[in-house]
């Protein structure tokens, strides 16, 4: 018995109902991850970055990976103001670009790297729920795999224009979207 969902237009992988639902879900996931990073940027407060220093020090106090703990103790913490500003812009950038879905694959990789760095600091902290850290990592893999900005994002709207442009920046944007 044919149902509304069995009609050819609904089954079209590009425009069908299933495809639209999938793209909507991907967009919602991308926006939720963006809001997560905005929340993270909220408490990175210059110039002392006291809270950030506290959590970064966990990499030394509860080491997960020796070389990373050494790097944090000897390079990052002595220069916490510089790294604090870097982290603030990084997480604000993650929130901003994932929100609108621009250069999303690039920012998904950046988010993946930042999630790994956070995991290397927090994984062995007493009371920490490790699956929260693992989920942060896999959600960014999912954003990369789905090219989430193409789902109701700026990447999706502009890729056809970038693909036809001879501008070097446009060619880069095709790659990172």
Binding site for another protein (CB under 8 A): 31, 34-35, 37-47, 88, 91-102, 152, 154, 157-158, 160-161, 163-164
CB 143 within 8 A of CB 108: yes
The kind and range of the H/E element at 74 are: none
Q: How far is the CB of 24 from another protein (least distance, A)?
A: 12
Residue bearing tokens 């929260």: 132
Task: Please give the Cα distance from 148 to 146 (Å, whole number).
Answer: 5
Task: Please give the Cα distance from 22 to 147 (Å, whole number).
Answer: 12
Task: Please give the Cα distance from 63 to 131 (Å, whole number).
Answer: 18
Q: How far is the CB of 165 from another protein (least distance, A)?
A: 8
Q: How far is the CB of 17 from another protein (least distance, A)?
A: 19
Cβ proximity to another protein: between 37 and 68 the closer is: 37
Residue bearing tokens 């900005």: 149
Cβ proximity to another protein: between 47 and 168 the closer is: 47
Cβ proximity to another protein: between 100 and 141 the closer is: 100
Cβ proximity to another protein: between 5 and 51 the closer is: 51
Q: How far is the CB of 33 from another protein (least distance, A)?
A: 12
């Amino acid at each position: 018995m044919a149902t509304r969902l069995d009609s050819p237009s609904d089954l079209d992988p590009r425009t069908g109902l299933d495809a639209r639902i999938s793209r909507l879900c991907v967009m919602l996931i991308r926006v939720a991850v963006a809001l997560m990073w905005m929340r993270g940027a909220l408490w990175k407060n210059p110039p002392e970055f006291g809270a950030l220093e506290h959590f970064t020090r966990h990499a030394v106090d509860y080491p997960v990976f020796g070389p990373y703990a050494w790097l944090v103790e000897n390079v990052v913490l002595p220069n916490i103001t510089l790294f604090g500003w870097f982290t603030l812009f990084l997480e604000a950038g993650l929130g901003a670009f994932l929100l609108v879905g621009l250069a999303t694959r690039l920012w998904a990789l950046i988010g993946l790297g930042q999630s790994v760095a956070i995991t290397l600091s927090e994984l062995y902290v007493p009371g920490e729920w490790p699956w929260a850290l693992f989920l942060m990592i896999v959600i960014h893999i999912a954003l990369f795999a789905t090219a989430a900005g193409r789902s109701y994002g700026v990447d999706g709207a502009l890729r056809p224009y970038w693909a036809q442009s001879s501008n070097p920046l446009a060619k880069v944007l095709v790659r990172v979207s």
